[in-house]
């Protein structure tokens, strides 16, 4: 393999220019890196905004399209499901093809499917386009984090991860605020088109600023199609069971046995396939890395809590409290501010101090406390206290979300970074999809029970569409009936938060067992270049020995070996945790 001079190993000992910081690739200035990261952040913002902007408007959207509580849940679950399934696939593809092209393709897919969702005339069509939108979001989720790791060293990456967490917070929680305003001022359909100009800016920024080394495609490209198909089938079947059990059939029924048993068998076969294929979607060797395994467990728990609770806040605000979509979005600002401020502040602190575990532990404590407090609310709870509770949850999430990914990336080799990051994101999305489905089913059952009993106390049997799960407009109901509905939704959403609190403790337990490792000072791109240089040096030494085994070869091979050993020792000293996946 030949190497151009532009790809020579970076001279780490050379003095840094004013526009170049330690831990950044020698082929890019600090200004280039900031511009590139701005494009990556804009792409991630578009992805999350396209998904979250409809949250505050979903009650009205689903009602206008004639959907019920199950449709409401699946509008969210469909996106999470396809994001979950596609994330590890995108991560694998990112190892085989140009990452810049992949992130731009993901952007286009996200905004086109969002626009088509805005034209939907039924809840089923809306769910289908939202599912396609999740595929694009999976690509942006998987590749964005890898691109940042490519150009920023772990020690400096903390502050950028903090910025990323802040952007995710603004897009996740600020999206519903913007969506509520558009729904009240224009139409809920405008929510699906607002991200288009942001996407255009992101694509232009990425094209002009993201300059990666020329991509060398492997001679043989292996994609684990069977693993992807089996995982998709197993996870989809499990989520379908959670959605329909208790409504279309009993929890204890032959349908439950068939769907759960079939899902377990299919997923077991998927694990067997992953252990034998040459290029698995989720390499099982990753689970030998202690930090990665614990980060996966913690991230899955965070996914359940983050998506499985906050997605139902709009129902509480609009149905239990009777607020408009705009006001509903405004009332989530404490959650945004908590996550935004803690994410940026902890990211800056980690880059300065090089320590991250203390922030993970603190976030792991705050999150279940906030969830437990939210579990005490009802439809008459003082909004001031609710804002405080949401802020506590937001601060905890801000300390956890990106810092867990940073801790795991710090222990991964350059070859493992893409698939490892995508695997963690996969399990976080899987936790979110399961959380929305399971907690949504619990919420639906509680609401149905409370409305039925509440209406019966007023001499109304059955309750018709109200007890059947159709989302009501409380402003159109008689006062006594509206009170029953408000009470049912208030108690149901509180129960969801209360159930999520002990689940969040799993995150704290996993964090406590994470071994803190000093953050590396070289970017993934630098490590890859050094590895390439060592391989070429070793190859050159081998060719020389085949041509002529002489004293000259002995004298010249020793320095080459020393250089390779020195580079290896330098890398080991720089990031000692990358030496052994067992840590």
Instruction: Tell me whether residue 506 is in a domain.
Output: yes
Same domain, 321 and 458: yes
CA distance 188 to 330: 17
Residues 410 and 553 in one domain: no
Q: Band of the pLDDT at 49, cuts 50, 70, 90?
A: confident
At 550 the pLDDT is 46
Is the pLDDT confidence value at 16 over 60? no
Whole-number pLDDT of residue 413: 78
Residue 547: is its pLDDT beyond 70?
Answer: no
Helix axes 333-353, 383-409, angle to 10 degrees: 30
Distance linking the first and last C-alpha atoms of the chain: 33
Highest average pLDDT, of 426-435, 536-545, 562-571, comes from 426-435
Helices (H), 152-289: 154-185, 195-209, 225-244, 254-274
| CA dihedral (328, 334, 336, 339) positive or negative | negative
**Per-residue confidence at 366, pLDDT binned at 50, 70, 90?**
very high
**Closest alpha carbon to 440 in 53, 62, 134:** 62
Over residues 504-516, mean pLDDT: 92
Predicted pLDDT at 367: 92
CA distance 235 to 221: 26
Q: How far apart are CA 304 and CA 317, in angstroms?
A: 21
Higher-confidence residue of 498 and 75: namely 498
Torsion over CA: 160, 333, 312, 363 (sign): positive
236 part of a folded domain: yes
Q: What is the DSSP string of 557-577?
A: HHHHHHHHHHHHHHHHHHSGG
Residue 286 DSSP code? G
Last residue of a domain, one of 512, 545, 561: 512
Same domain assignment for residues 186 and 173: yes
163 or 510, which is more confident: 510
Q: Which helix (H) or strand (E) holds 41?
A: helix 30-52
pLDDT at 384: 92
**CA 245 to centroid of chain Cα atoms:** 27
Q: Does residue 263 sit in the same domain as residue 167?
A: no
Full residue range of the structural domain in which residue 241 is found: 224-278
Go through the chain and tell me how many residues it has. Answer: 583
The CA-based angle 451-124-427, given to 5 degrees, is 85
Residue 27: what pLDDT?
59
Q: Are the beta carbons of 291 and 515 closer than 8 angstroms?
A: yes
Q: pLDDT tens, 388-401?
A: 999 999 899 888 87
> Both tokens of residue 195?
């991200």
Please tell me whether residues 332 and 376 are part of one structural domain: yes
Dihedral sign from CA coordinates of 499, 374, 78, 409 = negative
Instruction: Say yes or no: 75 and 158 in one domain.
Output: yes
Q: Is residue 160 domain-shared with residue 265, that is, in the same domain?
A: no
Q: What is the CATH number of the domain that holds 384?
A: 1.20.1250.20
Model confidence at 581: pLDDT above 60: no
237, 259 in Cβ contact below 8 A? yes
pLDDT at residue 106 above 50?
yes
Question: Mean pLDDT across the stretch 477-491?
Answer: 84
- Enter the tokens of residue 508: 């704290």
Residue with tokens 């990358």: 578
Q: What is the DSSP letter of 3?
A: -
Is 369 found in the same domain as 255?
Answer: no
Span 55-87, pLDDT tens digits: 777 778 888 887 776 777 778 778 877 887 788
């Amino acid at each position: 393999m030949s190497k151009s001079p532009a790809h020579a190993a970076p001279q780490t000992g050379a003095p840094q220019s004013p526009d170049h910081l330690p831990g950044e690739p020698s082929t890019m200035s600090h200004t280039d890196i900031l511009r590139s990261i701005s494009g990556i952040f804009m792409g991630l913002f578009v992805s999350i905004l396209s998904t979250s902007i409809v949250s505050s408007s979903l009650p009205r959207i689903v009602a206008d399209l004639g959907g019920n509580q199950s449709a409401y849940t699946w509008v969210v679950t469909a996106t999470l499901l396809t994001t979950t399934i596609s994330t590890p696939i995108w991560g694998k593809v990112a190892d085989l093809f140009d990452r810049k092209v992949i992130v731009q393709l993901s952007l286009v897919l996200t905004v086109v499917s969002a626009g088509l969702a805005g034209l939907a005339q039924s809840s089923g069509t809306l769910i289908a386009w939202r599912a396609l939108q999740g595929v694009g979001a999976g690509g942006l989720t998987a590749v964005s984090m890898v691109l940042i790791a490519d150009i920023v060293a772990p020690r400096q990456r903390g502050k950028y991860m903090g910025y990323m967490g802040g952007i995710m917070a603004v897009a996740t929680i600020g999206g519903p605020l913007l969506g509520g305003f558009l729904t009240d001022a224009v139409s809920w359909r405008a929510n699906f088109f607002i991200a288009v100009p942001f996407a255009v800016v992101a694509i232009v920024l990425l094209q002009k600023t993201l300059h990666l080394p020329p991509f060398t495609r492997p001679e043989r490209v292996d994609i684990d199609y069977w693993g992807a198909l089996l995982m998709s089938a197993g996870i989809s079947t499990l989520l379908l069971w959670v959605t329909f059990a208790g409504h279309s059939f009993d929890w204890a029924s032959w349908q439950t046995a068939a769907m759960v048993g079939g899902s377990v068998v299919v997923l077991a076969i998927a694990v067997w396939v992953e252990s034998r294929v040459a290029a698995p979607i989720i390499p099982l060797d990753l689970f030998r890395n202690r930090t990665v395994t614990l980060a996966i467990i913690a991230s899955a728990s965070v996914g359940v809590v983050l998506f499985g609770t906050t997605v139902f806040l709009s129902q509480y605000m609009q149905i239990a409290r009777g607020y408009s979509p705009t006001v509903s979005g405004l009332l989530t600002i404490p959650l945004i501010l908590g996550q935004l401020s803690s994410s940026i502040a902890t990211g800056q602190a980690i880059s300065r101090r090089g320590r991250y575990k203390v922030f993970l532990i603190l976030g792991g404590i705050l999150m279940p406390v906030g969830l437990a407090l939210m579990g005490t609310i009802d439809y008459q709870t003082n909004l001031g206290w609710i804002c405080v509770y949401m802020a506590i949850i937001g601060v905890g999430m801000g300390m956890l979300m990106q810092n867990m990914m940073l801790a795991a990336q710090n222990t991964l080799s350059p070859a493992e970074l893409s698939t490892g990051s995508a695997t963690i994101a996969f399990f976080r999305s899987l936790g979110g999809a399961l959380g929305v489905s399971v907690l949504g089913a619990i919420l639906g059952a509680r609401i149905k029970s409370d409305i039925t009993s509440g209406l019966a106390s007023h001499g109304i049997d059955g309750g018709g569409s109200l007890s059947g799960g159709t989302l009501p407009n409380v402003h159109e109901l008689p006062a006594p009936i509206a009170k029953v509905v408000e009470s049912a939704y208030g108690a149901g959403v509180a129960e969801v938060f209360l159930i999520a609190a002990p689940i969040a403790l799993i995150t704290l337990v996993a964090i406590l067992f994470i071994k803190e490792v000093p953050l590396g000072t070289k970017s993934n791109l630098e490590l890859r270049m050094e590895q390439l240089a060592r391989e070429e040096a070793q190859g050159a030494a081998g060719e020389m020995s085949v041509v002529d085994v002489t004293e000259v070869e002995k004298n010249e091979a020793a320095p080459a070996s020393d250089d390779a050993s020195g580079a290896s020792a330098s890398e080991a000293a720089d990031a000692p945790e990358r030496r052994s996946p067992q840590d």
